[in-house]
Every structure is written in C-alpha cells, then in structure tokens.
C-alpha cells in the first residue's frame, strides 16, 4: 500500500520575542546614553544618527522575527507533488501549487555558488522551495526529493513513509 511522503519546512528562529526586545533595549540604552552625553556636551548631531540607527535595528529585528511564521509543506503522492506555502501573519497569501509527479523534476540552481536555490519544475512552471534552509539542508532535501520524484518523465516507486521529514 502506498502512503504519501511529507516534508515540513520552517525557518530557524533561535531568538524569542522576549529575547528580541531584551536585545533591542540592551543596544538602545548604551547608544542613547552616549548620544545623550554627547548632546549635553554640544555635539547634538550625534542624537539623530543614533535614533536612525536604532530605528533601522528595530526594523531589521521586526522583519527577522516575522520570518518565524513562514511555513512550507511538500507532499509527494503517487501522482502529484503538492507544495503549500503560508505565512501566519498574512492569512490571504497562502499558496497551493500542484505539479504532476511524472512530469516534474527537482533542480538546484547555482550549485557551485551559495546561496543556491532549490526548485521544482514542470510544464513551464517553476517554484523555489526552502529559501530559508541552510545550504546543506537544501542539498539534503533536494537529494530526498529527487529520489521520490525522479527526473522528467520518470516516476520511481515510492517507498513507504513513516513520519513527516522536518527541515528547520
């Protein structure tokens, strides 16, 4: 009996929300302390640059923290390769793309120069998956998917699957 193979992909998120806030304030306090002291001594142009620097840091942290809600789910069945991409903070942006397994292929583009990109393509359509994976994880996923999907006009026999493979 055939069972589908599942791959759940999620980005690495080592920093918690609380950790991000603590980090931000641990950088803000000394920065504004030095800028405030310089302002009192008459070097007032330092203060707007310190503010701009902290605003840029806040934007970078917010953007990085939003990535933890990205998720990709790949399912390889006997006849299809189904990719679902979602972002919890943008509910209307979930995508579901279905490729016929027999006519699909997995490729790594720019294999010799990181960062490479892992794509699934079929019938002129192409989808990049695993953008947030490390180079090694991307290559492992590509190897696993190539075994399951095969090349164009190939459909290798699928082995029984256990639990979903997790790449995060």
Give the percent of the chain with pLDDT over 90: 37
CA distance 152 to 48: 57
On the question of pLDDT at 32 being above 50, the answer is yes
pLDDT confidence band for 79 (50 / 70 / 90): confident
Among the ranges 53-57, 84-88, 164-168, which has the highest mean pLDDT value?
A: 53-57
Shared domain check, 77 and 122: yes
Containing structural domain, residue 121: 5-12+70-167
This prediction has a pTM of: 0.69
How many independent structural domains does the chain possess? 2
On the question of pLDDT at 159 being above 60, the answer is yes
On the question of pLDDT at 133 being above 90, the answer is no
pLDDT confidence band for 41 (50 / 70 / 90): very high
Residue 1: per-residue pLDDT: 45
Shared domain check, 163 and 98: yes
Q: DSSP assignment, residue 150? A: -
CA distance 124 to 57: 40
Shared domain check, 96 and 34: no
On the question of pLDDT at 121 being above 70, the answer is yes
Q: Count CA atoms closer than 13 A to 56's CA, side-chain side.
A: 6
Shared domain check, 144 and 119: yes
Q: Taking Cα atoms as reference points, which of 23, 25, 21, 43 lies closest to residue 34?
A: 43
Shared domain check, 124 and 88: yes
User: Sign of torsion, CA 31 37 38 42?
Assistant: positive
Shared domain check, 147 and 112: yes
- Compare 28 and 63 and report the one with higher pLDDT: 28
- CB contact set of 128 (below 8 Å; sequence gap of 6+): 117, 118, 119
Question: In the predicted model, what is the mean pLDDT of residues 38-57?
Answer: 96
CA distance 52 to 34: 15
Of 13-22, 76-85, 158-167, give the lowest mean pLDDT range: 158-167
On the question of pLDDT at 162 being above 80, the answer is no
Question: In the predicted model, what is the mean pLDDT of residues 13-26?
Answer: 92
Question: In the predicted model, what is the mean pLDDT of residues 12-30?
Answer: 93
Q: Report how far apart, in Å, the C-alpha atoms of 13 and of each of 65, 90, 168 are.
A: 8, 18, 9
Strand partners, 156: none
Torsion of CA 119, 62, 16, 26, to 10 degrees: 140
4 close to 159: Cβ distance less than 8 angstroms: no
Q: Taking Cα atoms as reference points, which of 147, 124, 144 lies closest to residue 136?
A: 144
């Amino acid at each position: 009996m055939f069972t589908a193979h599942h791959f759940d992909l999620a980005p690495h998120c080592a920093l918690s929300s609380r950790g991000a806030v603590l980090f931000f304030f641990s950088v803000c306090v000394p920065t504004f302390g030095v800028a405030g002291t310089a302002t009192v001594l008459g070097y007032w142009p330092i203060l707007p640059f310190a503010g701009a620097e902290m605003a840029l840091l806040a934007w970078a942290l917010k953007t990085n923290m939003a990535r933890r809600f990205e998720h990709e789910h790949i399912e390889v069945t006997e006849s299809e390769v189904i990719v679902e991409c979602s972002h919890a903070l943008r509910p209307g942006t979930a995508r579901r793309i279905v490729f016929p397994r027999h006519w699909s292929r997995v490729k790594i583009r720019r294999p010799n120069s990181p960062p490479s990109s892992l794509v699934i393509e079929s019938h002129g359509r192409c989808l990049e998956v695993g953008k947030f994976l490390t180079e090694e994880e991307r290559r492992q996923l590509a190897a696993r998917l190539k075994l399951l999907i095969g090349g164009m006009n190939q459909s290798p026999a699928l082995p029984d699957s256990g639990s979903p493979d997790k790449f995060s």
